[in-house]
Structure 1
Amino acid sequence: MQATSLPLLSMLVAVPALGAATLAWIRQPARARQLAIGVSAVTLALAGVAIGLFRSGQPGPQLVDAWGRVPLLGVLLQLGVDGASVVAMSLTALLTLGLVAAGPRQMLDRHTLAVLLLTESATLGFFCTQDLALLSAFWVATLVPAWVLVSRSARARPESRALLTFRTYMLAGTLPLLLVTVLLGVLGLRAGIENPFELTGLAARGVPGSWQPVLFGLLLLAACVRMAVVPFHSWLPVLMARGPFGLSLLLVNVHAGLFLLVRGVIPLMPVEWAAGGTLLAAVGLFSGLYGAVLALAQVDLRRTVGFLMVSQSGLMLAGLATMNTQSVAGVLLQSVATGVALTGLKLVVQVLGARTGTTDMTRLGGLVRKAPRMAAFFFLLSFASLGFPGTLSFVGEDLLLHGVLEAHPLVSLPMLLTTALCAITLFRAFQKTFLGGVGEEQKLLLETVEDLLPRERIAALGLFALVFVGGVIPGPLLRVREHAVETLVERVSSARGGAATTHERP
């Protein structure tokens, strides 16, 4: 365990929360946006320092900030990062800065900016914590600001009644995690363990065998709801289409549900994960294919992007269930690639909606004439999210596909079909929105459409450049997570070997 004299991680979690609190005192919209951009930039800089100080290959959490423990409850107030969390933390900071800096101004009022910063702060805490109880607290904290803002939107707009779906699913994804935390805490305190929630200690002790199936099912439910895996996906397209700006991207594209599997479910219950690998892979593949088919059927660009996210979440679950070095490394790399590319794509779609008043493809067409830069970035970011050669998603998909091929050759066929459907969906969306004939309604839209502004171009170009540079030089991202990937795979392999030995005994 590597500690530092500077409480870097604590600062990283605190800065966005302090920025959100300061926004309560600022009434001018322009100053509120400037403050939010500054706070997001400082947070990203701190995340960059954390990556610079991180040492690949070292076991245990690094950059540890320890603040003692909560008496009686045994909650350990400790933050630290490993290879998986240090990248996820930086991705969160990057996406927040992109959303705040380039989002449409009319959608970023003071309340929305505060919610984005609070969600960022809680998400960073979730990635850094080393205690299950604190992890659950941050999991809830990521949803509370969104819950408040969604409730306000639901009162203000009659059509947003469908956003009640969001609240229902978030409760379904939160209560199981809280129940598991309470049960493990009771078991640990009864056994006289000083820190019953510490993740490292929990992984070393293991979960009592009789409790494993129940706890495994509860944690898996929480993760699948947050990842929007079918059949727990309905909230995501609704939130993408009708919810407050940016919330769906932060809640899904930082892949907190995937991180819960990597940090909580698999280390604590590797035997259950190994036993359910085939079923989980099937669920993930079905979710990926189902999301791709529904994305192809949409006419609204926002819902199209939402179902593409559902599809990508399913493929990542399938790759993680396969559990070999290539598939796990591919999943973690793909989580970064899709997070960046789909955020950029959603930004372009949101700007398009703000300019034209609609994201319905049947009412659009020929926009390349008035907005060529918007069309170009939509096309490039679509390529970046599809795994086109030379992009980071290509490297992630290649590793993921090879890992699945090694374990289950036939499983790769639905994955290829899913990727092909996603490609058809995006090219169809590009053709209908930016190319094609121009009708009378489209002519009226073309007269008022403005191309991407400089700040929007900078954000879109920056996101695409990251995916492109990552595809050309993926080595640093792979090395940072190499030890975490190997540790995870070895733990599940050992569990499989132990289970096989048990079954072979007379």
Structure 2
Amino acid sequence: MQVTSLPLLSMLVAVPALGAVALWWVRAPERARQWTVGVTALTLALAGVVLGFFRTGAAGPQWVDAWGQVPGLGLELQLGVDGASVVALCLTALLTLGLVAAGPRQLLERRTLAVLLLTESATLGFFCAQDLALLTAFWVATLVPAWVLVSRNARAQPESRALLTFRTYMLAGTLPLLLVTALVGVLGWRSGVQAPWELAGLAARGVPGSWQPVVFGLLLLTACVRMAVVPFHSWLPVLMARGPFGLSLLLVNVHAGLFLLVRVVIPLVPEAWAAGGTMVVVVGLFGGLYGAVLALAQVDLRRTVGFLMVSQSGLMLAGLATMNEQSVAGVLLQSVATGVALTGLKLVVEVLGARTGTTDMTRLGGLVRKAPRMAAFFFLLSFASLGFPGTLSFVGEDLLLHGVLEAHPLVALPLLLTTAISAITLFRAFQKTFLGGVAPEQKLLLETVEDLLPRERVAALGLFALVFVGGLLPGPLLRVREHAVDTMVERVAAVRVHGFRWASFSSTSSASSR
């Protein structure tokens, strides 16, 4: 563990939250946006410092900020980063900056900007938390601002009543995590542990064997809801189409649900994860294929991108469940690639909707003549998200595919089919939106469409450049997470070698805690 005197991670988490509070005194809309861009840029710079000085291959968390315990509870106020989380910090900061800097002005009013900053702050805290109770608190905090804003929008707009499904799903995805946190605390107090929720201590002690299936099921439900894995996916396309700008991307594209599996589920209940691996693979593959088919059936570009995110979440869940070094490394790489590419694609779609007043493909067409840059970035970002050669997603999908082939050769067939359907979906969307004919009633409107503005071009070009450069030089990202990947795979492999003797594991865990 590397403890530092500079509380850099605490600053990283606090800066967006303080920026959101300061927006209360910034009344002018343009000033509010400029302030938010500055805050998110500073946050990205701090995250870049953490990544720049991260020591690859070192065991334990780094840049640790320890603020002591909460008296009477044993909750450790401790932040730190490891190989699994340090890249997620930069991804979260980058996506938030891109959304704020390039998002349509009319969608970024002061309340939405404050919610984006608060969500970013809580998400960064979630990735840094070294205590399960603190991690759970940040998990809840990521949802509260979105919950409030969505509820207000739903009350103000009767046509947005479907957005209330977001609250239902988020509640269903939070209660299981709260139950697990309470259960772990009770088990720790009974065994006399001073810090019952500390993640490192939890991984060393494990969960008693009789409780592993319960804890595994609850945490898997939590992660699947947050990742929008089928059948817990219907909130995401609705939020993408009708919800406040950017919230769906921050809740899904930073892949907090995937991190929960990597950081908590696998270390805490490795036997249950190994025993349920086949089931998780099936659920993930079905979700990936189902999401791709639903994306193909959509006519609204926002919902199309939403279902593509559902599909990618399913594939990443299946890849993680195969649990070999190639598949896990591919999943973590793919989470970055799709997070960046789909955010860029969503930005282009939102700009298109702001210019034309619709994202319905049946009402669009021929836009390449009036907005060639918009068409070019839509095309590039679409195929950057699908594993086009030379991009980071190509490297991630290649590793994922080889890992799946090694573990379950037949599983590779639906994976390839899912990718092919997604490619057809995006090519069809590009053709209908930018190359097709123009509907007579829309011809006058589309003749006045403005192409991407300079700030929008910079954001889209920057996001595509990251995916492209990452595809040419994926080594640094792989090395940063190499130790975390090896540790996870070895832990589950050891469990598989010794079998699933939960009863004996329970007695061993109880003895070690005493």
TM-score by length of 1: 0.99
Write the letter of the residue equivalent to 2:412: S
1:141-220 map, 5 Å: 141-220=141-220
Q: Distance in 1 between matches of 2:446 and 2:172?
A: 44
Partner of 1:260: 260
Q: Tell whether 2:300 aligns with 1:304.
A: no
SS in structure 2 of the partner of residue 67 of structure 1: strand
Superposition deviation, residue 498 in structure 1:
1.4
1:422 corresponding residue in structure 2: 422
Q: Aligned equivalents of 1:342 and 1:502: distance in 2?
A: 41
Q: Which amino acid aligns with 1:178?
A: L
Residue in 2 that maps onto 1:386: 386
SS at match of 1:144: helix
Which residue number in structure 2 is paired with residue 126 of structure 1? 126
Q: Is the 8 A contact 1:363 1:442 kept in 2?
A: yes
Structure-2 residue corresponding to 1:405: 405
The corresponding residue for 1:323 is: 323
Match of 1:446 in 2: 446
CA separation in 1, counterparts of 2:148 and 2:500?
49
- Which stretch has the larger CA shift, 442-451 or 261-270? 442-451
Structure 2 residue 280 is the aligned partner of structure 1 residue 285: no
Amino acid across the alignment from 1:378: F
Question: Any residues of structure 2 matched to 1:76-87 within 5 Å, and which?
Answer: 76-87=76-87
1:361-372 alignment runs, 5 A limit: 361-372=361-372
Report the Cα distance in structure 2 between the residues aligned to 1:502 and 1:370, rounded to whole angstroms: 64
After TM superposition, give the deviation of residue 501 of structure 1 in Å.
8.4
- On the 8 A contact 2:76/2:197 being kept in 1, the answer is yes
Q: How many angstroms apart in 2 are the aligned matches of 1:478 and 1:78?
A: 26
In 2, are the aligned partners of 1:365 and 1:442 still within 8 Å (CA)? no
Q: In structure 1, give the amino acid aligned to 2:354.
A: A
Aligned amino acid, residue 436 of structure 2: G
Change (3 A) 1:399 1:442: same
In the superposition, relative to structure 1, how do residues 246 and 411 fare at CA in structure 2: closer, same or farther (>3 Å)?
A: same
What residue identity is the alignment partner of 1:150?
V
SS at match of 1:44: helix
TM-score, normalization: structure 2? Answer: 0.97
CA deviation profile, 1:406-459 (whole Å, cap 9, x unmatched):
000010000000000000000000000000122312312222211000000000
2:342 maps to amino acid:
L
Secondary structure at the aligned position of 2:196 is classed as coil
Task: Tell me how far apart the structure 2 counterparts of residues 494 and 208 of structure 1 sit (CA, whole Å).
Answer: 17
Check 1:80–1:502 CA distance in 2 against 1; reply closer, same or farther (3 A cut). Answer: closer
> Do the aligned partners of 1:288 and 1:418 also contact (CA within 8 Å) in 2?
yes
Gaps in structure 1 of 5+ consecutive residues: none
C-alpha distance in structure 1 between counterparts of 2:205 and 2:175, whole Å: 24
SS in 2 for 1:66: strand
> Per-residue displacement from partner, 1:142-162 (whole Å, max 9, x unpaired)?
000000100111011111100
Equivalent residue runs for 1:215-254 within 5 Å: 215-254=215-254
CA distance in 2, matches of 1:363, 1:418: 27
Q: Please give the alpha-carbon distance, in whole angstroms, between the structure 1 residues aligned to 2:238 and 2:500.
A: 44
Matched-pair identity in %:
85
Sort the Cα spacing of 1:112 and 1:500 in 2 relative to 1 into closer, same or farther, 3 A.
closer
**Secondary structure at the residue paired with 1:448?**
coil
Shift of 1:218: 0.5
Contact 1:62 1:82 in 2 (8 A): yes
Over 3 Å counting, the alpha-carbon distance change for 1:383 and 1:471 in structure 2 is same
- SS of the residue aligned with 1:218? helix
SS at match of 1:24: helix
How many residues get paired? 503
Residue 50 of structure 1: how far off its partner (Å): 0.1
Structure 1: distance between partners of 2:446 and 2:211: 62
Kindly provide the amino acid, as one letter, of the partner of residue 192 in structure 2. Answer: G
Q: Give the superposition deviation at 1:137.
A: 0.2
Structure 1 runs of 4+ aligned residues shifted over 3 Å read 500-503
Superposition RMSD on alpha carbons, in Å?
1.0
Name the residue aligned to 2:6: 6
**Partner in structure 1 of residue 508 of structure 2:** none
